Amino acid sequence: MTTVLPNLVPALPEMIMAVGAMALLMLGVFRGNKSTGQVSWLAAVLMLVVMVIVAGAENDKIATFGDMFVVDGFTIFMKVLVLLASALAVLMSLPYLRAENIERFEYPILIALATLGMMVMVSANDLMTMYMGIEMQSLALYVMAAFRRDTAQSTEAGLKYFVLGALSSGMLLYGASLVYGFTGTTNFTVLANVLHGHEGHGPSLGVIFGLVFVAAGLAFKISAVPFHMWTPDVYEGAPTPVTAFFAVAPKVAALALLTRTLFVPFGDMAGSWQQIVIFMAIASMFWGSIAAVIQTNIKRLMAFSSIGHVGFALVGIAAGSPAGIKAMLIYMAIYLVMNVGAFVCILSMRREQGLVDDIDELAGLSRTQPAMAAALAIFMLSLAGIPPLAGFFGKFYVFSAAIDAGYYTLAILGVLASVIGAYYYLRIVKIMYFDEPVGAFEPLKAPVMSMIMMASAIFIVLFVFLPAPLRNTAESAAQALLH
């Protein structure tokens, strides 16, 4: 017993999350859908408690389960982001579910189970652990996409996500099998040692092909071009709070996994994977920015926006340096706040016929709901990277890392894509403040949503005065990954 228990300590947050999710499932089964509100609040509290436990852990690297599961400063940083995003997703979903009369206790439990999978992904130190975490997350997300069973769009979104997700999982498994076949191991630490031994004559072609397939499978999870095809349709068809969740937490977890996969086992192959990441970064930045310009549906616009922002985050990874990883971590933390705030505004805006879907329906919002219009304007301007808001600093850090690494062209192209992307964000601000109102709004009266909106806006505005805590924490997390 004394030899088993210490090995479980690093995975204590995951075990608490798993046991908590099962307990909430039992509560929901016995009490039915009338317990949805209670289960939702308990799920949010569970995630916040686990987040505090994770944040309070030691930054020293600890491996367990035969070195397949690792905890260090990097995993702590990313798990805190994932848990925070998931808790906020549960809280901001409850008023919507109540208003649409689709309150079901399974919803917060699905988020909790998906979050458990994401936590395993972030701590994965083996190709098998990676696959287990991805599938644990994905199975819950497929159901969430089709959660609104009374609409064809939601069912279609779930089916598309499932089919394409299965394809990406197959690619990832094929890549993992190639890596195992040519190296004899799936463990990240052992892989790093094996590939380091090949430094003189380079890795075999089979390992390179395996890395490409693994990277392609992970690129699907973060919606990086050219593996982004599912994103606009799924984001548009899924219920809006599900879209809000998809846009943040799974991307943070998948980016964390991609970063660890590239830098730990394949760190000596940077010359092979940096060009792939640079291509995905440029393609994602430009396609996300250009395609969003012509969108009229606000959820499709946010889908292409998320593709573009993944491209900016990939710039930091492409730099291949500690500064690049730090920049990516800062960017994702700021992206989380911006996206959560924007989706809270979208969820709050309703008319008699339901949620606002078209961008043109935001016309005159500043006159009918001035506080909400001001908050949404802050989020849009920050997403556009307008100084001195937090979004500007996120882009500044990733472009600075690219320049420091000698990728001047990548940084210049990133700035150009950011300028193009600013158009559709500023267009929303223009519609809210300068177009004539098209009808009365009936915003959701939910104090929790107002609090999330206010806190997010305050963070974005005041970040310029106090960037050091996030910057220093991200720097420590980046160093923990590389040492």
Looking at residue 142, its pLDDT comes to 92
Report whether pLDDT(420) > 60.
yes
Looking at residue 354, its pLDDT comes to 65
Report whether pLDDT(287) > 90.
yes
Angle, vertex CA 142, rays to CA 138 and CA 144, nearest 5? 115
Higher-pLDDT residue of 216 and 59 is 216
Q: What is the mean pLDDT of residues 475-480?
A: 90
Alpha-carbon span 13 to 83, nearest angstrom: 11
In a domain, 28, yes or no: no
Higher-pLDDT residue of 21 and 32 is 21
Give per-residue pLDDT as tens, 155-211: 888 888 898 889 999 999 999 999 999 888 888 888 888 887 655 456 778 888 999
**pLDDT band with cut points at 50, 70 and 90 for residue 381:** very high
In a domain, 52, yes or no: no
Q: pTM value?
A: 0.92
Alpha-carbon span 466 to 221, nearest angstrom: 32
**pLDDT band with cut points at 50, 70 and 90 for residue 353:** low
Report whether pLDDT(339) > 60.
yes
Q: Give the Å distances, CA to CA, from 363 to 284, 303, 344, 359.
A: 29, 21, 18, 8
Q: Which of 25-34, 272-281, 370-379 has the lowest mean pLDDT?
A: 25-34
In a domain, 347, yes or no: yes
- Name the 3-class secondary structure at 71: strand
Report whether pLDDT(76) > 50.
yes
Report whether pLDDT(50) > 90.
yes
Expressed as residue numbers, the domain containing 313 is: 275-482
DSSP 8-state secondary structure symbol assigned to residue 72: -
**pLDDT band with cut points at 50, 70 and 90 for residue 352:** low
Looking at residue 198, its pLDDT comes to 58
Q: Per-residue b/e over 50-71, b at no fewer than 16 CB within 10 Å?
A: bbeebeebebebbbbeeebbbb
In a domain, 30, yes or no: no
- Reply yes or no: is the peptide bond before residue 241 cis, omega within 30 of 0: no
- Name the 3-class secondary structure at 198: coil
What are 124's strand-pairing partners? 69
In a domain, 130, yes or no: no
66, 127 contact by CB (below 8 A):
no
Looking at residue 197, its pLDDT comes to 64
Give the percent of the chain with pLDDT over 70: 95
Give per-residue pLDDT as tens, 126-150: 999 999 999 999 999 999 988 887 7
Report whether pLDDT(440) > 50.
yes
What average pLDDT does the structure give for the chain?
88
- Name the 3-class secondary structure at 466: coil
Give per-residue pLDDT as tens, 246-268: 999 999 999 999 999 999 888 88
Looking at residue 1, its pLDDT comes to 45
In a domain, 184, yes or no: no
Q: What is the mean pLDDT of residues 323-338?
A: 94
Looking at residue 202, its pLDDT comes to 60
Looking at residue 147, its pLDDT comes to 85
Q: Give the Å distances, CA to CA, from 472 to 323, 329, 330.
A: 11, 11, 10
Q: Count structural domains, the chain.
A: 1
Looking at residue 102, its pLDDT comes to 79
In a domain, 170, yes or no: no
Q: What is the mean pLDDT of residues 417-430?
A: 91
What are 126's strand-pairing partners? 187
Amino acid making up residue 11: A
In a domain, 435, yes or no: yes
Give per-residue pLDDT as tens, 84-104: 999 999 998 888 888 877 788
Report whether pLDDT(468) > 60.
yes
424, 301 contact by CB (below 8 A):
yes
Higher-pLDDT residue of 413 and 60 is 413
Calculated CA dihedral for residues 74, 78, 81, 82, nearest 10 degrees? -150
Q: What is the mean pLDDT of residues 71-85?
A: 94
Give the percent of the chain with pLDDT over 90: 51
Report whether pLDDT(397) > 60.
yes
Higher-pLDDT residue of 220 and 439 is 220
